[in-house]
Amino acid sequence: MGDANRHVVAIFGGACAGSTAADILAARGIDVVVFEQNARPYGKIEDGLPRWHRDQRRMEYKRIDARLDRPGVHVVPRTRLGTDLQFDEVIGWGFSAVLLANGAWRDRPLDIPGADAWLGRGLVYQNPFIYWFNHAPEASYSGPRYTIPPGAICIGGGLASIDVIKVFQLEQYGRALAARGIAVTMHDLEHAGIAATCLAHGIDDPASLGVADGWLVYRRRVEDMPLATPPPNATADQVLKIEAVRRKMLTKAQEKFRFHVRPMALPVALLTEEDRVTGVRFVETEMRDGKAVPLDDRAFDLHSTLVVSAIGSLPEPLPGIVMKGTFYDYADWDTGAYAPVPGVFGVGNVVTGRGNIKASEQHAKGVAHWLAEHYLGVQPEQTPRSIDQMTAGAEAGAAVAAAQVASYVEARPPLTAAEAEALLVRVRTRQSQVGYGTYVDWMAQVTPADAD
Ligand SMILES: Cc1cc2nc3c(=O)[nH]c(=O)nc-3n(C[C@H](O)[C@H](O)[C@H](O)COP(=O)(O)OP(=O)(O)OC[C@H]3O[C@@H](n4cnc5c(N)ncnc54)[C@H](O)[C@@H]3O)c2cc1C
């Protein structure tokens, strides 16, 4: 193999999308180098999917491991595009193709003038907030820590915002129960819900615990919350059905986790005192032609020292990569082909265009509502709690992209044995710099003993 002409493809990001593409390309005899910024390659599954999805996380970890720990795949951890390696430099190395599978890790900025100056002083974005929730129990965690205050505020409306408001409630009620000498695990509280857990411990009314429940504030109607998606070209009837599903899902989640919802309100200013955020000023909205229009004379305030903004995740801008608006500059959303440089493709969450959504829709057809209910944990008690189809969209999208990349690559002459070897020498050098030997040894070395 070492002295044969062949293709070598680089992938940045080793999670659902990157590992799926690596597996498929390696199975076609292509050498694949997976550069991953973190020590562990699990991406959103480890850092974005709240840790109460324990079984799902473990299962996905195994699937990612199986795809990366195989002949033909060379993993290079702790190597970040834009920091340890530059895009233009990598392009110059002469890989047969380069795949960007680096996900969507930049929080959509909160549209309040000057808001970001208050980050870390009461304002937090959803991605670092869930990272804290997932990793804070590990002894080695050294990032910021949050104590959920009364009436914490989450701005959002999608699944990720429900994750955040659930964290508020689980943390607050867990603490209130502990103060009464009742120890419940976060997993039990999430699984059974707040009222049922209280009842099981002889508390008839959870309100008697005196928790000031958190607020979820959304700019449109509850029926517009992107918790479930209508099929493409939905009829008016189908849209109405989806709206009813969204309302039902939210009501169930509220019953189980007791949070407040304030629809049709737009944040316009942070309230601050001295060095801290103390709340948010909102204005009410009205819907006109499907748009939330602010009613400037209808302002109200919510007060809390924690505000989490969960209004969407976007690809991170990276030096050398041309953006078109908030996304990379794709020539074709279906293939993820990056316009400025031939042979570069986006795959997975990093492409949030039609290609990915289409694949995800095809895959998740008919199970979207079921899935979302499972994701939210509001499905009937007797049904199993698997949400494994959740990653199916990213995987299906990555599989389609990998097939396209393979066709692109295979239509070109392979690298000479010397060119391929020169690339792999760079790879081995970097692997030894970061201390990587084999996948199994590396994972054993970097997995915290107390990882959930
Ligand atoms: C709240 C929530 C909602 C979800 N909704 C959906 C949905 O609607 N549809 C769907 O298909 N799936 C959804 N999922 C499932 C799942 O998150 C994604 O489908 C899947 O994890 C995306 O995989 P990915 O590999 O594209 O991205 P990620 O899991 O984000 O992986 C990207 C990887 O790239 C690495 N990386 C990032 N930047 C760099 C860099 N500069 N250099 C090197 N490495 C880098 C990261 O460390 C990470 O390992 C959802 C998950 C959550 C938590």
Cβ-defined contacts of 334-341 (< 8 Å, 24+): 334/358, 335/401, 335/404, 336/401, 336/404, 338/100, 341/91, 341/98
Question: By C-alpha distance, which of 144, 155, 174 is closest to 214?
Answer: 155
Mutate which of 37, 76, 161, 349 for ligand 1? The one with the most ligand atoms within 8 Å of its CB, which is 349
pLDDT at 438 over 80: yes
pLDDT of residue 384: 58
85 lines ligand 1 (CB under 6 A): no
Cβ-defined contacts of 197-204 (< 8 Å, 24+): 197/173, 198/173, 201/177
Per-residue pLDDT of 358-407, as tens digits, reads 444 444 444 456 667 777 777 766 555 566 666 777 787 888 889 989 99
Please state the domain extents for the chain.
8-105+315-446, 108-310
Task: State which H helix or E strand residue 332 sits in.
Answer: strand 330-332
pLDDT of residue 383: 59
Higher pLDDT, 238 or 153: 153
* Number of other residues whose CB lies within 10 A of the CB of residue 208: 11
pLDDT of residue 368: 57
- Bridge partners of 12, per DSSP, are 35, 100
Per-residue pLDDT of 53-90, as tens digits, reads 999 999 999 999 999 999 999 999 999 999 999 999 99
Please name the amino acid found at residue 356. N
Burial of 366 (0-12, 13-18, 19+ CB in 10 A): exposed
Q: Which two tokens stand for residue 450?
A: 């107390």
DSSP 44: H
44 lines ligand 1 (CB under 6 A): yes
Alpha-carbon span 299 to 27, nearest angstrom? 59
φ, ψ dihedrals at 9, nearest 5°: -115, 140
pLDDT of residue 381: 60
pLDDT of residue 370: 64
Tokens 């615990």 sit on residue: 209
Sequence-ordered strand ranges (E) for 236-336: 260-262, 265-273, 276-288, 291-303, 307-310, 313-314, 323-324, 327-328, 330-332
57 lines ligand 1 (CB under 6 A): no
Alpha-carbon span 41 to 46, nearest angstrom? 9
Listed in sequence order, the residues at least 6 apart from 144 whose beta carbon sits closer than 8 Å to its beta carbon are: 120, 128, 132
Tokens 């599989």 sit on residue: 399
Using only C-alpha atoms, what is the Rg of the chain? 23
Which residue owns the Cα nearest ligand 1 atom 51? 49
Q: Is residue 275 helix, strand or coil? A: coil
Ligand 1 centroid to Cα of residue 181, in Å, is: 39
Asked if domains 8-105+315-446 and 108-310 share a fold, the reply is yes
* CATH, range 108-310: 3.50.50.60
Q: What's the pTM value of the predicted model, to 2 decimals?
A: 0.93
Alpha-carbon span 229 to 97, nearest angstrom? 34
Listed in sequence order, the residues at least 6 apart from 207 whose beta carbon sits closer than 8 Å to its beta carbon are: none
Average pLDDT over residues 238-243: 90
End-to-end, the C-alpha distance of the chain in Å comes to 40
pLDDT at 355 over 50: no
Question: By C-alpha distance, which of 398, 423, 410 is closest to 10?
Answer: 423
Task: State which H helix or E strand residue 417 sits in.
Answer: helix 417-434
Per-residue pLDDT of 412-421, as tens digits, reads 999 999 999 9
Percent of the chain with pLDDT over 90: 80
Per-residue pLDDT of 297-322, as tens digits, reads 999 999 999 999 999 999 999 999 99
Higher pLDDT, 131 or 333: 131
pLDDT of residue 363: 41
- What's the whole-number average pLDDT of the chain? 91
pLDDT of residue 371: 64
CB 230 within 8 A of CB 238: yes
φ, ψ dihedrals at 12, nearest 5°: -105, 115
CB 23 within 8 A of CB 29: no
Range in 24-38, 97-111, 385-399 with the lowest mean pLDDT: 385-399
pLDDT of residue 359: 47
46 lines ligand 1 (CB under 6 A): no
Instruction: Ligand 1, residue 60: give the atom nearest the CA.
Output: 21
pLDDT at 352 over 80: no
* CATH, range 8-105+315-446: 3.50.50.60
Per-residue pLDDT of 162-182, as tens digits, reads 999 999 999 999 999 999 999
pLDDT at 356 over 50: no
